[in-house]
Chain A
Amino acid sequence: MTGITTTDLVKRFDDVTAVDGVDLNVREGEFLVLVGPSGCGKSTTLRLLAGLESPTAGAVEIADEDVTTASPSDRDVAMVFQNYALYPHMTARENMTFGLKTATDFSADAVDDRIAEAAGILDIEDLLDRTPSALSGGEQQRVAIGRALVRDPEVFLMDEPLSNLDAKLRVQMRAELAELHAELQTTTLYVTHDQVEAMTLGDRVAVMYDGEIQQIAPPQQLYDAPETRFVAEFIGSPGMNTVEGTLKRRGDAAHVTWGENSLSLPSAGAVKPYAGDRVVLGVRPEDLTQEMGGPLSMEVTVTEPLGDSLLTRGVVGDTEMEVSLPPRSAVDVGDVLSLTADPQRLHLFDIETGAALYHSAETVGSDAAEPPVADTQRSTT
């Protein structure tokens, strides 16, 4: 099987632990995205897989072969760098062929065929004789991807390949990368800090924080059933609102209160056990709506018209929250809004560990959320 497996991978730089016990399994042909904020260890993880860094502890397997101590060139991986890493004095074609002889055992004819094929796929036939300085950022990145393609590796490793492109080009290249993967089906590990990129590209997405993997799941499941408070706040644009409150039960009914505000939870019996009586309630901005006499009251501090919605930030109790209102809603700064939340889209997290205690969608059976998949994993911070 052509995949990547890491076992308890650890990387320390002096007294900083960049990667702290990562167990990752990228399946054959899968496009797995590793996403997280700056400094979470995602790039270091990728570099450990490429062999550009050596792990402090743990093992790396690529295609069922232990490559923990193998040199980068013996791992049959091709990497695409954030800054493209093209040789500035070589033409696009030379950039693609340089090192190909060392890295692979293609004949000269095969090399020409492969270049032509890759150039065709990436639509860069006309650019092959130009040097990088005569190419735009998007074209340079195509050449860099082409360089990886012609090597026909077991695994593609991509380190924020779209980060240096402007927003519009990034969206375009994102779609092209998805198409490319659908066509080639090469196992790919893709690192990004952009959760939109992660959600749109990944067959599965691994969310990383502070050197540890928080959750690995298909994009929709990450959104619907985040396993930690961090994942809830990180995934989504904007992320989930989280508010510390008190959970009060009365029989099977329960509600979370903070200040004057209160939300009732359906099927509170499904809440996992936790210590103390304080919990973190999570609700996404798009699951809040305006309703006369609703249980929450928000004093508006900022409005951001996004065109398709009006993102409104305000204070509920003493906690900042965001709500996504219909476009052109008549809302001004200083207004007090009455809000209610979709009862099927509520989440609870442990206030100490951040672990998910409850997703209301799973208890009442919703068409939006799928049941949890067995191979997700969690490590709490």
Chain B
Amino acid sequence: MGVHENTYDSTVGAYLLLLPTLVAIVAFLYYPSLQTLRFSFFQTFLFGQNTRFVGLANFTELLSSQVYLTSVGLTIAFAAIVVVGSLAVGLAVAFLLYEVSDGKAAYLIAAIWPYALPTAVAGTVLLFLAHPSVGIYTHYMEAWFGVELDWFTVGWQGFAVVAVAAIWKQIGYNVIFMLAALNNVPESLNEACRLDGIETWRRLVRVYIPLMSPTLVFLVVINTIYAFFGSFALIDLMTQGGPTNATNLMIYQLYRDAFQFNNLGLASAQSVILFVLVAGLTFVQLRVSDRYAHY
């Protein structure tokens, strides 16, 4: 038995020390969560001033609404694209940064500065850079590839622009973690590869990615959460859920129901669904990765 187990005479002292943290967690985390859960069983009027218990009616309404189900599908597709995209691009950038020897710091700053930009600023800037009629990106895309771009009215284009923006915004974060993981690869393994003449691509896939796997699992989870929740600002600034609901992700629909249509009960139900979805996904990701990641 360790000496430290007898530091306190009773557990009361220990709980007393934990009290400030517990109070903060209960007041700002558990209480609001439980309130949300409670609200999801009520119909609300006047910003929640008046409520009426409706049981599971909010959930049945949502799950039988075509708009909402489309939004769920869109969100899952969006999350898949953003997670895969930001991890793939992040990995490519991190690997290039790891391999380059001259000007490393400059490249690193260039790669991570989008992450330092507030999402609101990034969204506004991108809106103008990619604006269908005055945007410089759009102008050259049309000039070089001969395509007609009008993502203010064409649904899939709007979806694509927001997805690209969300990926771009997340690359810096991924690069920081991936580069840290790459730098943890022992130098002697690189040297063993050099002695055997292992090609760059094979080195990345067979050596680096397996060694980075704990970090990659972490990033998959964080990026999934980001894709579900963090894209709100970009959508609000760039498409407001349009065109024709093509970027109406769950988090945006939730926001509209809560703050534009003042239907807090319905929005709370959506919160619960969103929470269950993301928690479930995260759980599955962690379980699956346990089998493949090398800790």
Interface residues of A (CB under 8 A from B): 50-52, 71-74, 77-79, 81-85, 87-89, 98-100, 102-103
Establish whether residues B191 and A52, one from each chain, have CB atoms under 8 Å apart when the complex forms: yes
B200 CB, nearest partner CB in chain A, Å: 12
Closest 3 CB pairs of A and B: A73-B197, A99-B196, A85-B188
B195 CB, nearest partner CB in chain A, Å: 5
CA distance A228 to B202 in the complex (A): 49
User: Does residue B38 face the partner (Cβ distance < 8 Å to A)?
Assistant: no
The 16 sampled A-B contact pairs (Cβ below 8 Å) are: A51-B195, A52-B191, A52-B194, A73-B195, A77-B195, A79-B195, A82-B188, A87-B207, A88-B294, A89-B211, A98-B206, A100-B196, A102-B198, A102-B202, A103-B196, A103-B197
Q: A131's closest neighbor in chain B, by CB?
A: B294
User: Does residue B189 face the partner (Cβ distance < 8 Å to A)?
Assistant: yes
User: Does residue B37 face the partner (Cβ distance < 8 Å to A)?
Assistant: no
| Chain B residues with CB under 8 A of A71 | 194, 197
User: Does residue B5 face the partner (Cβ distance < 8 Å to A)?
Assistant: no
| Chain A residues with CB under 8 A of B196 | 73, 98-100, 102-103
Report if A78-B211 is in contact (Cβ < 8 Å); known contacts: A87-B189, A89-B294, A98-B206: no
A156 CB, nearest partner CB in chain B, Å: 12
Establish whether residues A72 and B186, one from each chain, have CB atoms under 8 Å apart when the complex forms: no
| Chain A residues with CB under 8 A of B206 | 98
B193 CB, nearest partner CB in chain A, Å: 7
| Chain B residues with CB under 8 A of A87 | 189, 192, 207, 210
User: Does residue B199 face the partner (Cβ distance < 8 Å to A)?
Assistant: yes
| Chain B residues with CB under 8 A of A89 | 210-211, 213, 294
B155 CB, nearest partner CB in chain A, Å: 43
Q: B187's closest neighbor in chain A, by CB?
A: A85
Which of A73, A74, A78 has the largest number of chain B CB atoms within 10 A? A73
Establish whether residues B197 and A74, one from each chain, have CB atoms under 8 Å apart when the complex forms: yes
Contact residues of A: prevailing secondary structure: loop
Contact residues of B: prevailing secondary structure: helix
Which of A72, A89, A99, A102 has the largest number of chain B CB atoms within 10 A? A99
| Chain B residues with CB under 8 A of A50 | 191, 195
Q: B293's closest neighbor in chain A, by CB?
A: A89
Establish whether residues B198 and A88, one from each chain, have CB atoms under 8 Å apart when the complex forms: no
Q: B207's closest neighbor in chain A, by CB?
A: A87
B38-64: CB near A (< 8 Å → 1, else 0) gives 000000000000000000000000000
B70 CB, nearest partner CB in chain A, Å: 42
Which of B192, B202, B213 has the largest number of chain A CB atoms within 10 A? B192
B192 CB, nearest partner CB in chain A, Å: 5
| Cβ < 8 Å to A, chain B residues 171-191 | 186, 188-189, 191
Q: B195's closest neighbor in chain A, by CB?
A: A72
CA distance A74 to B196 in the complex (A): 9
| Chain A residues with CB under 8 A of B211 | 88-89
| Chain B residues with CB under 8 A of A52 | 191, 194-195
Sample of 12 further A-B pairs with CB below 8 A, known A78-B195, A88-B211, A89-B213: A51-B195, A72-B197, A79-B192, A79-B195, A81-B191, A83-B186, A87-B189, A87-B210, A89-B210, A102-B196, A102-B197, A102-B199
